[in-house]
Structure 1
């Protein structure tokens, strides 16, 4: 089996040297998957894989668990760990090796990353003030403008830091709609029973349109969010609602203690116009996230570096500023490039030389991804392709978007688990519980291999997305025969996934069963009938009818005048 971990330079320092030795031990043990190793140890697969990532020195218990899972000698490795730990502490950059990276790469900033979130002070202040004044607030910006990070590392910590007198909320909740927003997140619409308001932050609101296929559930979830505006007395908007008056019923009084902040991609802003009440709310309170000024971009580069006791070459800062100015939605690409520079730092310095080596801001993502793929076997590459494409919803007149999926939908073998682990370690994918997602949508456009896969199989990908939803609905309806495919839809799915020149290997068991059952049900519309229906609906049917009418008129005139020369 090919190596699927990012390459390490064992001469780069004691942490990298120890991680490299762990990897060698694992290879000598037959390269067990981290999932298999987790079953032999008391630690999770991500924790064990992190021990050999080379980013920080693992704790001694984790290191020994890794060694035990690979059949190594605990005493020998404990002595090795102690020696390398002492070496790391004796270096001039003592303590730096144990610190996490100050950059987040393609991953969004979390609520715990406020001390590394730079360049957005004024926008955070504006968002906090608007949230205090309005009960429904929309944050709108292009993909890659940093909306998710602004909510989590900007707004949430700022609200927590408010004094009680200034209206610190009683609770803050965060969610993304997903395919079933009301079913999954309906309980979040009820404020907590405590003094102060509950703030519900809905990130990636566009999933309402890209993932939720049920228009009734979509409308009901939006209606639930808009109840935050119900019975709003129109006062100063402070979080302390003790002065509210005029509530006519218990439901309205409860609703008035909810505040909602949504983040929506700018290219989906027009879709919000499909809901009249949502339009009113957006018109009342929308904050637009624009591109960062050069000085703000500079802060995002040097601020985290200073927090991590790093130095950024001036020439590097100037080059990144120039590249960002020419690239819309460049923040995730810049952040990933900075993370790669941190991994390739010389001592404490991030260098322009390393930036050029990874292909600059645009090339860094592809560089990282291709390093992973270089270690895959052909079979693993095919598994990775199918896995990545399942995490994308192809746009229909709009940009492609990411699609979170359940782990069980992606991983159906030990080798698929190995591929997933490699992609997660490279921070191309993120795992949250049982859910898996692309780290950022920028990956779709910035990685040429993935972009080519999507473009070359776009129509098949659309068919697969519809098949996934239909199979899920069929299962939820206790396999109701009425939910099976029929007619032209069945013909298209069979041609794409079941014919001789196609493959059903990338279908899940339930999708394959749904399609096979649909085929066996024999609910086809004959191709000739399909063509006839398409012809009747086309403009040529009108032309044919006009020609037939002209012929009838000519024949009638001839018939009436044939005996009158």
Structure 2
């Protein structure tokens, strides 16, 4: 039997009251041991016991696991947790002990390290020496490694400060620039890759080169940008280039022969950190800021990260959350488990923020987060920046963006707002579930976003609008663009304009069809007129043959008939000449030509006189 828990006074505050309520739930379930509860829900026993200790408010996922282990309904406990959190913040502020806003945070969480974070960047000296040698020996070089291996932080907090120190020792100046490709890399950065005469030599660091394949859909723009980068290899050039790309896009890079050759000649694979390097990454930042890390915690982290490829973002985030749960100046193993551990800390933080949102804000959060994801095709999903123009002006969206950014789940930079790291996609089950549910819709939505961007870039040209199957698919996914909250203003205008042009084209086609129908009926009326003329001619001829008045005997009748026959022949001949002189082009194409009825004569009986 485990040792008894320390009593908690429910009147001591909202956190103590919430812990007392959790204990009452466990007591009603028969007071199961924490080890038994941990096995039932897959959570650490220490984490569950700390949830009911009354020292700090546990994370929402930990509360839900505790309630499930006791046979309760987690949905009924979410409002109680939110109420306790609000009351605790009103009484004590957002954190206990040292104020969160003023305390120097030694870890970056999911956010990347920047050049000014150099004093907190540890464990990368070996690979930095190799990378520095590579970029000095080759005018074009490539750094590739798996997602979560720390490429971006290595460039910004490791290589950039070293290169700046190197440039300071040189007599000739040099310009150092770091960029991410985006949707139009050649158009945006072409001037940087072609320095004018008299300008200093340019060193270009291209971070997240995979955006050339995930965000740039224009094949010509993509090829032009790659060729501009590869031009740095030419002798006598005044540009040096280092490209950092995810390892799972190696095959896509090989599609370009010259780029594939560069990978073989001047490529560096970013290998996993050794155990000693990981210890430096865990302990170094804490010591630089005046904190300590328990040895048991360091050993546990090194062991878990070595078994988790691409686990550096998870390591950085769980260390940040453990620091927030520290005891004085010490980062403890208990604080680590209370944060959710290596695999649960990201989800715990995300769910903690999500649990504070209203239903309307939760819907806005789903739309916002899915807009920041590019669903992979034969490759893992990737993130994409959302420019300020893409963001909805809805107040709920603004509140969600602010809260997620404050929790360091989103980052804001020159490209806009984006996920702090792609690890959020794989480590937060809720977001991962949204992506899987809407995967096909997301692909079509990303294509719509790009089409709307091109349409605006071309001055709202009608030739860039959706037609045919594309418009039909857009109408299927977004039947009412004017009210669909998943669309931003430019996408809404694009779909509306596409539908308006389609309706205008339909009305125009209907007018043309009616006009052609009327044109085809005119020749029919002309043919009918000619037939009526023929009938009248026959009737007149018959009247002329009929004997009437004096001298209507046989010889007179014969003379009259012969005279009528000659007159009819003359009229018919004149009519044929008129018709022969009429231009054939007056009849519309496909109109049947009706010949003039032949003149009606009569059979001459032999004169028996």
Residues 488 and 195 (structure 1), Cα distance of their counterparts in 2 relative to 1, 3 Å cut: closer
Work out whether 1:322 is the aligned partner of 2:287: no
- Identify the structure with bigger relative contact order (alpha carbons < 8 Å, sequence gap 6+): 1
- CA-to-partner distance for each residue in 1:30-72, whole Å, 9 max, x for gaps? xxxxxxxxxxxxxxxxxxxxxx866999xxxxxxxxxxxxxxx
In structure 1, the residue matched to 2:181 is 177
- In the other structure, the counterpart of 2:330 is 349
Matched with 1:337 is 318
Question: How far, CA to CA, are the matches of 1:470 and 1:263 in structure 2?
Answer: 28
Q: Summarize the alignment of residues 391-402 of structure 1 with structure 2, pairs less than 5 Å apart.
A: 391-402=372-383
Q: What is the correspondence of 1:122-201 to structure 2 with a 5 Å cutoff?
A: 122-162=126-166, 170-191=174-195, 197-201=201-205
Q: Which residue of 1 aligns with 2:229?
A: 225
Change (3 A) 1:194 1:99: farther
Q: What SS does structure 2 have at the residue aligned with 1:460?
A: helix
SS at match of 1:138: strand
TM-superposed CA distance for 1:430, in Å, is: 0.7
**The 10-residue stretch of structure 1 (296-305 or 406-415) with the greater mean CA deviation from structure 2:** 406-415
What secondary structure is seen at the aligned counterpart in 2 of 1:189?
Answer: coil
Structure 1: gaps of 5 or more residues: 1-10, 13-22, 29-51, 58-87, 89-95, 233-252, 527-565
Pick one of 415, 422, 426 that aligns with 1:445.
426
CA 163–487 in structure 1, closer or farther in 2 if over 3 Å, else same: closer
TM-score by length of 1: 0.70
CA distance in 2, matches of 1:167, 1:286: 29
Query: Aligned residue for 2:280?
Result: 299
Provide structure 2 residue ranges, at least 5 long, that are not aligned to the other structure.
1-54, 57-85, 507-609
Residue 511, structure 1, aligned to residue 491, structure 2: yes
C-alpha distance in 2 between matches for 1:525 and 1:454: 37
1:262 to 235, 243, 248: 243
Give the corresponding residue for 1:286. 267
Which stretch of the first structure deviates more once superposed, 143-152 or 268-277?
A: 268-277
Distance 1:466 1:523 in 2: 23
Q: Is the 8 A contact 1:199 1:260 kept in 2?
A: yes
- Which digits, 9 at most, give the CA deviation of each residue in 1:115-152, with x for residues without a partner? 11111101001101111100011000000000000001
Q: Aligned-pair distance for 1:160?
A: 1.5
CA contact (8 A) 2:175 2:201 kept: yes
1:113 match: secondary structure: helix
Q: Structure 1 CA distance, aligned partners of 2:418 and 2:167?
A: 36
Taking the aligned partners of 2:145 and 2:309, their CA distance within structure 1 comes to 11
Following superposition of structure 1 onto structure 2, how do residues 9-88 of structure 1 map, counting pairs within 5 Å?
A: none
Give, in angstroms, the shift of residue 479 of structure 1: 2.1
Secondary structure at the counterpart of residue 108 of structure 1? coil
TM-score by length of 2: 0.65
Residue number among 496, 499, 502 corresponding to 1:522 in the alignment: 502
Q: Which moved more, 1:143-152 or 1:112-121?
A: 112-121
The correspondence of residues 421-440 of structure 1 with structure 2, limited to 5 A, is 421-433=402-414, 435-440=416-421
The 1:275/1:434 distance shift into structure 2, 3 A limit, reads: closer
Matches of residues 352-501 of structure 1 in structure 2 within 5 Å? Answer: 352-433=333-414, 435-498=416-479
1:65-120 residue CA offsets vs partner (Å, 9 max, x unmatched) = xxxxxxxxxxxxxxxxxxxxxxx9xxxxxxx9844211000011101111111111
- Distance (whole Å) between structure 1 residues aligned to residue 418 and residue 175 of structure 2: 26
Residues 118 and 304, structure 1, Cα contact 8 Å, conserved in 2: yes
CA shift, 1:290, in A, is 1.2
Superposed CA RMSD: 3.1
Q: Answer whether contact 1:105 1:338 (CA < 8 A) is retained.
A: yes
* Aligned partner of residue 144 in structure 1, secondary structure: coil
322-331 or 457-466, larger mean C-alpha shift: 322-331
What is the match of residue 4 of structure 1?
A: none
The alignment partner of 1:410 has SS state of: coil
Deviation at 1:164, TM superposition (A): 5.5
After superposition, give the CA deviation of every residue in 1:165-193 in whole Å (9 maximum; x if it has no partner).
66886121010000111222222213476
Change (3 A) 1:142 1:56: farther
> How much does 1:280 deviate?
2.1
Alpha-carbon contact 2:167-2:173 (below 8 Å) kept: no
Cα–Cα, structure 1 residues 260 and 168, in superposed 2: closer, same or farther, change >3 Å? farther
Q: Distance in 2 between matches of 1:130 and 1:495?
A: 52
Q: Measured at CA, do residues 162 and 192 of structure 1 come closer, stay the same or move farther in structure 2, by a change above 3 Å?
A: farther
> How big is the shift at 1:461?
0.5
Change (3 A) 1:98 1:471: closer
Question: Partners of 2:387 and 2:97 in 1: how far apart?
Answer: 29
